[in-house]
Amino acid sequence: MIRPTAGRGNAGTLHFPDVSDLADPLLEVEDLVTSFRTTRGTVHAVDRVSLTVNRGQTLGVVGESGSGKTVLSRSIMGLLPARDVLRSGTVRFAGHDLTAMEPAQLRQVWGAQLSMIFQDPMTALNPVVRIGRQITESLRLHLKMDRKEATATAIELLRSVGIPSPEQRIRSYPFQLSGGMRQRVMIAIALACAPRLVLADEPTTGLDVTVQAQILDLLAAMQQERHMAVILVTHDLGVVAKRADDIAVMYAGRIVERAPTRTLFAHTRMPYTRALMDSIPRLSDPSGTRLRAIGGRPPDLIHPPTGCRFSPRCPYVQDKCREADPPLRTAGSPDHLFACWFPLVDGVPSGPSGSGQPVTLTTNGAPNNAVEAPAS
């Protein structure tokens, strides 16, 4: 156990009771839009994203570089630049609307209830502050610990993330640690106050596989211990395959497919998701096997293509795709959402539909009950 006082009822949660029903999702994001005003135009980095995360669950978010994964997680947190940002939509966290909160209230949520592991441990740790203090400051702030108690807790935290001789390490500066250690310190900071939800933004990029495995295992263990929910942001499908309960695939600021992990891998609907999976080199393939890259480039988020945003790169593109924007909808299992006019069935696109109505699909004998997504 990390910290005896962790959990509900600690000092930090007093101001922030969980007002939602335990059966309700912990996090509900609805129509979240985040755009940046730049001199070139408005960058629609996150475009009408809706998602939910249940208590104790892991949501994997995957997508190409620049698809808006980081902006999404920062937008959920509310950690966006002060200027030239447009954000709309709602983020309900434990029954509270984070978008409607005053900064002072948000500060009580941040770190204590909702925390974030930043993409780059190199830059996210303050280079001139000892790691000990970087951990203890939130303990002291949210849990009102005194210095001694906080230090002891920080040592425990470091030990639990697998840092050897934490008593000494606590006095180290970030530059004195290896990349893997820094990453773990970041995790320790994020977990310090036993938050209900951790947004882990590519926690393992740049680490080699052995260290990566260690870190992911650690996260999973803590999740179990604390019934903590995690949003695992990554572009590595290999990482989410075994770690996430659900997976959301992002493309050009939107969620284009969302399903429980197994379902997604087994019955990929979106050609984009498929293409992502196909471009991964497989160990089972012999050396020199040609990879199946996605042709073209990700779209310009200032002037996104009309119709389906993936249409310019989609191998199965049809006229309709270029004209109309496919809504997020379900087919087959109700928890498998996708945004495609001609979703894949067993790896081949379903036939064109002249009606413009969502195609009804039958997969794996699932009932034929396609539902239009509640999106706008």
Ligand X SMILES: Nc1ncnc2c1ncn2[C@@H]1O[C@H](COP(=O)(O)OP(=O)(O)OP(=O)(O)O)[C@@H](O)[C@H]1O
Closer to other proteins by CB, 22 or 128: give it.
128
- 238: Cα separation from own chain's centroid: 15
Regarding 138 and contact with other proteins (CB under 8 A), the answer is yes
Instruction: Please provide the DSSP assignment of 330-365 as one string.
Output: EESEEEEEE--SS-EETTEEPPP-SS-SPPP---TT
Q: Do residues 174 and 124 make contact, with C-beta atoms less than 8 angstroms apart?
A: no
Count of positions on this chain that bind Mg ion (CB under 5 A): 2
Closer to ligand X by CB, 67 or 108: give it.
67
Q: What is the amino acid identity at position 37?
A: R
Task: Please choose, out of 111-119, 220-228, 321-329, 366-374, the segment that lies near other proteins by the rule CB under 8 A.
Answer: 111-119
Regarding 73 and contact with Mg ion (CB under 5 A), the answer is no
Closer to ligand X by CB, 150 or 181: give it.
181
Alpha carbon separation from 203 to 24, 40, 317 (Å, rounded) = 27, 31, 34
Selected from 46, 93, 111, 143, the binder of other proteins by CB under 8 A is 111
Regarding 14 and contact with other proteins (CB under 8 A), the answer is no
Alpha carbon separation from 4 to 10, 139, 189 (Å, rounded) = 10, 13, 16
3 state SS of 261:
helix
**Count of C-beta atoms within a 10 Å radius of residue 369:** 12
Selected from 166, 180, 307, 358, the binder of other proteins by CB under 8 A is 180
Query: Smallest distance, Å, CB 238 to ligand X?
Result: 15
Query: Smallest distance, Å, CB 54 to other proteins?
Result: 18
Task: Please choose, out of 51-59, 101-109, 317-325, 362-370, the segment that lies near other proteins by the rule CB under 8 A.
Answer: 101-109
Query: Smallest distance, Å, CB 119 to ligand X?
Result: 6
Task: Please report how the helices 179-191 and 209-226 are oriented relative to each other, as an axis angle in degrees rounded to 10.
Answer: 10
Phi, psi (deg, nearest 5) at residue 335: -95, 15
Query: Smallest distance, Å, CB 239 to Mg ion?
Result: 14
**Pair of tokens at residue 287:** 């050396």
* Residue 52 binds which entry of ligand X, Mg ion, other proteins, none, CB below 5-8 Å type-dependent: none
Query: Smallest distance, Å, CB 254 to Mg ion?
Result: 16
Residue carrying the six token digits 């260690």:
214
Least Cα distance to 276 among 344, 203, 358 occurs for: 344
Closer to other proteins by CB, 107 or 147: give it.
107
Query: Smallest distance, Å, CB 173 to other proteins?
Result: 4
Query: Smallest distance, Å, CB 282 to ligand X?
Result: 22
In the window 253-292, what residues touch other proteins (CB under 8 A)?
261-262, 265-266, 268, 275-277, 279-292
Closer to other proteins by CB, 173 or 375: give it.
173
Regarding 208 and contact with other proteins (CB under 8 A), the answer is yes
Regarding 204 and contact with Mg ion (CB under 5 A), the answer is no
23 CB-contact burial (10 Å; exposed 0-12 / middle 13-18 / buried 19+): exposed
In the window 13-72, what residues touch Mg ion (CB under 5 A)?
70
CA pair distance 332, 140, nearest whole angstrom: 49
Q: Give the footprint of Mg ion on this chain (CB under 5 A).
A: 70, 119
